[in-house]
Amino acid sequence: MIYLDLLIGFLKVGCFAFGGAYGAIPLIRDVVMSYGWLSDEMFTYMVAVSESTPGPIMVNLATYIGSQQAGFLGAVLATLGVVLPSFIIIIVLTALLKTFLKNPYVQAVIHGIKPCIIGIVLATGVYMMLKNCLLKNGVFSPDIITITITAALFVVSYVYKKTKKKQLSPIMLIVISAVMGVIAYGV
């Protein structure tokens, strides 16, 4: 049943998404792909939309996917799924188990998961870039336009960082890439 799938799928994300929004993206991608809810391309678009609209990125992605799959109730259940684990954990920790996180075994679990998430996020970013530049419908076929846009975006964010001494904001990078897309692929 789609409602139950949405709730359980996003509960899994909510339970394992250490490391903020970017830590959650590979998990959500995994859940979405395994149920066949969105294409890889549509998922990437939604990451950009979630990044450019207010609110927590995880909540935005959950709301969109839930709504796409099963309307308003689907959106509510998916959002609930992603929020509920952290809600419960915080209440339990503040109310009852103030020393729980200091337990060495709990620390060992956290310190095992965190670097693993970083590796997964890195692999997701690298794979997305390679796929954009080198694959077309799953077949090896380098795309000159995408390679050029990728290189240009890296140059822009590098130059910005060097001159302004701070990272270019994600929304600015998205806006610049949108302009490049319109120039490259036409109106």
Binding residue for another protein (CB under 8 A) from 54, 137, 141, 164?
54
Q: Cα(75)–Cα(170) distance, rounded to whole angstroms?
A: 25
In this structure, which amino acid lies at residue 21?
A
- Cα 60–Cα 47–Cα 165 angle in degrees, nearest 5: 105
Q: C-beta of 52: minimal distance to another protein in Å?
A: 7
Does position 134 interact with another protein (CB under 8 A)? The reply is: no
Read off the tokens for 187.
């109106």
- In the range 64-103, which residues lie near another protein by CB under 8 A? 64, 67-68, 72, 75, 79, 82-83, 85-87, 89-91, 93-95, 101
Q: C-beta of 36: minimal distance to another protein in Å?
A: 12
Tokens 């929304």, residue located: 171
Q: C-beta of 129: minimal distance to another protein in Å?
A: 4
- In the range 1-40, which residues lie near another protein by CB under 8 A? 12, 14-22, 24-27, 30, 34
Neighbours of 176 (CB within 10 A): 17
Which residues have CB under 8 Å from 126's CB, separation 6+?
none
